[in-house]
Amino acid sequence: MVGGGFGGLSAARALARAGGSVTLIDRNNFHLFQPLSYQVATGALSPGEIAVPLRRVLAPFPRARVLLAEVSGFDLHERLVHCRPMAPAAEPFSEPYDVLVVAGGSSYSYFGHEHWRPYALEVKSLQSALRVRSRLLAAFEAAEIAREHAEQRRLLTFAVIGAGPTGVEMAGQIAELAHEVLPGELRRARSRQADVVLVESAARVLPAFPPPLSLHAERSLQALGVRLATQHTVVEIARGLLRLRQRDGTEQTLEAETIIWAAGVSASPLAGALAAAAGGELDRSGRLAVEADLTLPGHPEVFAIGDMVRLRSTSGGTATPLPGLAPVAMQEGRYVAALIAARSSGRGQPATFRYRDKGTLATIGRARAVAQLGRLRLWGFPAWAIWLTVHIFYLIGFENRLIVLTRWAHSFFTRGRGARLITEEAGGPREGPVARPPHDSADRR
């Protein structure tokens, strides 16, 4: 198993329960509950509350082991996975396999503008979420020190790019932090006047949701004080500066100390490594085409699952991507485990993989959320209660569930956030002055 995310860990646990000999390879020694990483970034939760050591998860299974290493390549003919150990002084090695499952996941794509990455952080990994947390909190601290109103306004401007679930959730959390949590703690900085801007190129937020739910989400965001900039495309990002273009070609510049990226993803480089080894097909996002049973074409002993693949409905048919959601990867992982177990025992194999959509959820803030559950559409407190229940259920470990539930209950009644610690270097590249727009900043409004 390559990858300890939702797909890889689901497959590893299911196979281990069936008595299989499982080796899980990951460059991190923990499983991250990524849907809640934005809550680490905004100080609502601590890292250990949404992450659990992989060895602890697989400890009950004597035939399961974990290797802390980064996969550098595949030899499909010799059935070897080439690895670089993460531990210092350890030598590279190759791990043999009978059956290979690759679940490399995805990362945020900057659409060919990698030079934007240092200035627009993302929250997909635990490390990046901690950097975002430090940058957010450092902006408020700098605003407390700033003496000029224009400088304080720049420090208290926060831009979130991408209005999918992560972007909406992030913007709502920043607005709550600025407008509800910090005003009673800051003395000089006017955090209630913080400008939280949500940028989206589509005509509405949550474009994958039905329009009525998008409208409810927009109203909730505006009630929290979030400014919506839909139908705006990002043209340039520099330190402290964001340039946007509207549909009519008009451009505007936004001075913002903190910029967060939540727009678009690209598949793990492991998809490209598999494609190179097997002559597979990649799309523009780097996703690998796999057969209807999630095997690599021409290699029935190799499976690829999760965000890094596109699924063919029939052998040789057109490959289409499934939603990049945790339930998709988890269902794929359990399916692959069942297929491998059936092959090993000589039983009849399960039918080709079919994703069972149980619904889509997005939270905006305290008691604010939207939910699409089949034909049922919910918003407000009922949707938020379902969101809480689902996320508590899918967290790994009773201890983490109990702690997160307690944290959320405390936050609901007190609006407190106890994990507001600056632990990482707060800024991006600090060489040179803050970028300035060509016109006076008052013009940008």
Could you give the residue numbers annotated as active site? 169
Contact 93, 83 (CB under 8 A): yes
Contact 132, 126 (CB under 8 A): no
Instruction: Give the start-end residues of each E strand in 317-405.
Output: 319-320, 360-365, 368-373, 376-379
Between CA 210 and CA 214, with CA 211 as vertex, the angle to 5 degrees is 95
Give CB contacts under 8 A, 24+ apart, made by 268-273.
268/3, 268/104, 268/105, 268/106, 268/107, 268/307, 268/308, 269/104, 270/2, 270/3, 270/71, 270/102, 270/104, 270/308, 271/104, 271/304, 271/308, 271/309, 273/71, 273/73, 273/74
The residues pairing with 143 across neighbouring beta strands, listed in sequence order, are: none
In whole angstroms, what is the distance from residue 306 CA to residue 321 CA? 10
Residue with tokens 């020694």: 29
In whole angstroms, what is the distance from residue 241 CA to residue 336 CA? 46
Neighbours of 66 (CB within 10 A): 21
What single string gives the DSSP state of each residue in 53-109? EHHHHHTT-TTEEEEEEEEEEEETTTTEEEEEESSTTPPPEEEE-SSEEE---EEE-
The residues pairing with 205 across neighbouring beta strands, listed in sequence order, are: none
Amino acid, res. 56: R
Residue with tokens 């559950």: 373
Q: Which residues, 6 or more positions from 68, have their beta carbon under 8 angstroms from its beta carbon?
A: 26, 27, 28, 29, 85, 86, 87
